[in-house]
Amino acid sequence: MGATIDGKRIAAEYKERLRLLVEERVEKRLSPLCIASILIGDDKGSIFYMNNQSKICTEIGVEYKKIIIDKNTPQDEILEVIDRLNNDSNTHGIIIQLPLPDNLDEEVIVNRISYLKDVDGLTDINAGKFYKGEKCFVPCTSQGIMELIKSTGIDISGKRAVVLGRSIIVGKSIAQLLLNEDATVTICHSKTVNVKDICKEADILISAIGRPKFVKEDFIKDGAVVIDVGFNVVNGKMVGDVDYENAINKASHITPVPGGVGSMTPIMLIKNTCEGLEDEY
Secondary structure (H, E, C), the chain: CCEECCHHHHHHHHHHHHHHHHHHHHHCCCCCCEEEEEEECCCHHHHHHHHHHHHHHHHHCCEEEEEEECCCCCHHHHHHHHHHHHCCCCCCEEEECCCCCCCCCHHHHHCCCCCCCCCCCCCHHHHHHHHHCCCCCCCHHHHHHHHHHHHCCCCCCCCEEEEECCCHHHHHHHHHHHHHCCCEEEEECCCCCCHHHHHCCCCEEEECCCCCCCECHHHCCCCCEEEECCCEEECCEEECCECHHHHCCCCCEECCCCCCHHHHHHHHHHHHHHHHCHHHC
Main-chain dihedrals φ then ψ at residue 176, nearest 5 degrees:
-65, -40
Contact 157, 130 (CB under 8 A): no
165 is in an annotated binding site: yes
Spatial distance between the Cα atoms of 168 and 172, rounded to a whole number of angstroms: 5
What is the torsional sign of CA 179, 168, 42, 36? positive
Binding site members for NADP(+): 165-167
Binding site members: 165-167
